[in-house]
Amino acid sequence: MSFPHTPQFPIRPRPAARPQALRRELVRKVPWGWLEVVILAGTLLPALLFIPGVSKVRTVTRVASYVIMPVAWWFVARRQRPSIGVDTFPARPWLVFSAVWLALSVFHPNAHTLLAASAQAALYITIFCPAFWAGMALDSRRQIGRLLALLFLCNALSSAVGVAQVFRPGTFMPPDMPALRNEFGGQNLMYETADGRKIFRPTGLTDTPGGAGLAGVTAALIGFCWALRPIAAWKRLASVGLAFLGIAVIYFTHVRVALVMLLLSFVTLIGLFVLQRNTRQAVLLAVGGVGSLVGALLWAIRSVGSSVTERFVTLFQNDPVTVFGQNRGGFVRDAFEHLIWEIPLGGGMGWWGMTRMYFGNMNVRSPVWVELMWQAWLQDGGLPLLIGYSGALVVALFDSARIALTCPDRDVAYWGAVIVSLNLSVVAACFCGVAFLSPLGVQFWILAAALHAADCRARAASRGALAAVSRPPVIAGAS
């Protein structure tokens, strides 16, 4: 028995027939552009520090990693080509407000120096500016898969180097690490292996001890997702193998937040796959993820000893709230119990971080200590910046989730689910570091804005296909 009047609420409509013009668009070769250049630069520019002597111009390479974003914006805007889905990205109004407030905050009476405050404001804007140009730079919906493939390969390479640094540190560690010149002489960045060796936490393709852990999160998540795609068997095996290295390097770095980010991403992605009715992918991801987490842990224990379990078991000794409260939770409480009331309009920019080191007056002692993104927002812009930036993150995440669940293009919807899970882990990193003053923030805004533009293209193409199907046929000789 059928019920013709029963309402139906599909999560994602069935793709309509593609008109010939759309088929030609899908088979044409999509050129590389600034999106791909920026993704590659995020890995290749820091990797230059592995060349002996380049560390002397470390400041130049660090600055270049961020300056390339506004440069890309300028070149993309010069094309003056109409783009779909650029002006409708919902985070843009929130970010415009944040940019205006940052510009005003440069002149805060308690700013460190005008140069340092200007540099800090420029750093914020530089990192989120892809939200304004990434959609314009997108030439095809197929670029979303390419961007994630590049992210996967770059982070997998960094993870592989990180693993190599555990077994051959004399060969693969960077020639100079500024972190070793801290008050502890770098001893707090090392741990002892089972055979008595002392090794630094793997840096990957950076010069920051433990930096390989964040690369491992991206490599592991995207690697498993590529393995679920209809690709050649050898590519599937390679994707799983590189994802396994990504998980292993998280254990080798002893960076607990990276493991939490990965677990959060896995759980989110499995849930989105279930909502998409991709049950097979959800089950395979769950089984493969758990198996790899256990397998990589056993390998790490065999390679460096029980220090791995001693480090990560602390995450499960108490409930998560207690564990977080005993670690970074104190900084969160300080932000929302004290800073938000003491400096509601900000405490002045330029007092902390790399901008103070590069552009500030180091002879003036700084009274500011920032560990988390929440503290950074309140210190640099107060409550207005906190509301503006966090509002932009919320609407961007919801927009990506909407795309993952409703986009008529199945490929865009699939990668949309991956982007949601990956970007959610970046937001979670705000509770453990300054994610949106780092390359993680650039990654967030590029993926979110490009995904929105790809969805708009998919919906426009779907409407065109429906119009072509519903158009009445032309009868020869009819007047």
Are 435 and 43 a contacting pair, CB within 8 Å? Answer: no
Residue 190 pLDDT: 81
228 sits in the region (left: phi over 0; alpha: psi -120 to 50; else beta) called alpha
Residue 14 pLDDT: 45
Residue boundaries of the structural domains of the chain: 30-175+188-461
CB count within 10 Å of CB 114 equals 13
Residue 1 pLDDT: 41
Main-chain phi, psi angles of 192, to 5 degrees:
-95, 135
CB count within 10 Å of CB 53 equals 9
Residue 407 pLDDT: 94
**Residues in the chain with pLDDT < 50?**
1-27, 466, 469-470, 474-479
Are 130 and 69 a contacting pair, CB within 8 Å? Answer: yes
Cα separations (Å) of 351 from 114, 169, 433? Answer: 11, 35, 17
The DSSP H or E segment spanning 190 is strand 190-192
| Alpha-carbon span 402 to 185, nearest angstrom | 48
